[in-house]
Amino acid sequence: VEFLYCDLASMKSIRQFVQQFKAKSCPLHVLVNNAGVMLVPERKTEDGFEEHFGLNYLGHFLLTNLLLDKLKQSGTHSHNARIITVSSATHYVGKLHLNDLQSRCSYSPHGAYAQSKLALVLFTYRLQHLLTANGSHVTANVVDPGVVNTDLYKHVFWVIKAVKWMTAWLFFKTSEEGASTSIYAAVSPEMEGAGGCYLYNEERTKSADVAYDEELQRRLWTESCKMVGISDESRRVP
């Protein structure tokens, strides 16, 4: 195990991390996009993005795109490189506000969090479409880890914290249980060559209907490229 620092709330840090990683000339077979914040008060990243959208979504969008060439080089016909992105069941109630992705008009911690998680699902489906169109030996899937007993809930209302403290042993997954579907997506032979899937409890399931909207996927991708400052190579793909 080797540690490299990367702050997903900083575009500069992400670019520095990618530069350091590529300097090692190592293959990249699995990328798990797992960082996140939940229900934080309204605040911005150092790049001026609303924190849920900037960290949960844009950070992973930029990181994945900057590492795509390395993933494509590492994947083979028999062993695809794999991208796993962690979303949440909250995406089912999320709404993508393309005209206000930064939640400037009306900020809601719940709404901003749900939007960021929906964006991750839309991103994954569009990414898989592009990978398939390019004939790349890379797959992209999205995972719902379930309700896991971690520090992610530190910003929830104190009553919910109290209920969580009393019932976590019964209703919440342990960290190990929460990681199981991500691990399944990363290493299971059953997932070899399978992309564009939404996984829960190590099974393929249906995501929110809006996540399958290909026009929304394209528009989000194009806008995301503008926001993080990378070229939109997807324009050449239907």
Which pairing describes strands 138-144 and 81-86: parallel, antiparallel, or unpaired? parallel
**Whether 200 is catalytic:** no
Q: Quickly state the pLDDT bin for 165 (edges 50, 70, 90).
A: very low
Question: What percentage of the chain reaches a pLDDT higher than 90?
Answer: 74
User: What does the pLDDT read at residue 162?
Assistant: 46
Which pairing describes strands 203-205 and 81-86: parallel, antiparallel, or unpaired? unpaired
Round to whole Å and give the CA distance between 37 and 40.
Answer: 7
User: What does the pLDDT read at residue 163?
Assistant: 47
pLDDT (average), residues 174-184: 83
- CATH numbers and ranges of domains, the chain: 11-228 (3.40.50.720)
User: What does the pLDDT read at residue 109?
Assistant: 87
Among the options 5, 57, 107, 113, which is catalytic? 113
CB 164 within 8 A of CB 152: no
Global pTM value: 0.89
Residue 153 has pLDDT above 50, yes or no: no
Task: Give tens-digit pLDDT for 64-116.
Answer: 999 999 999 999 999 999 999 999 989 999 999 999 999 888 899 899 999 99
Task: Give tens-digit pLDDT for 14-54.
Answer: 999 999 999 999 999 999 999 888 888 899 999 999 999 99
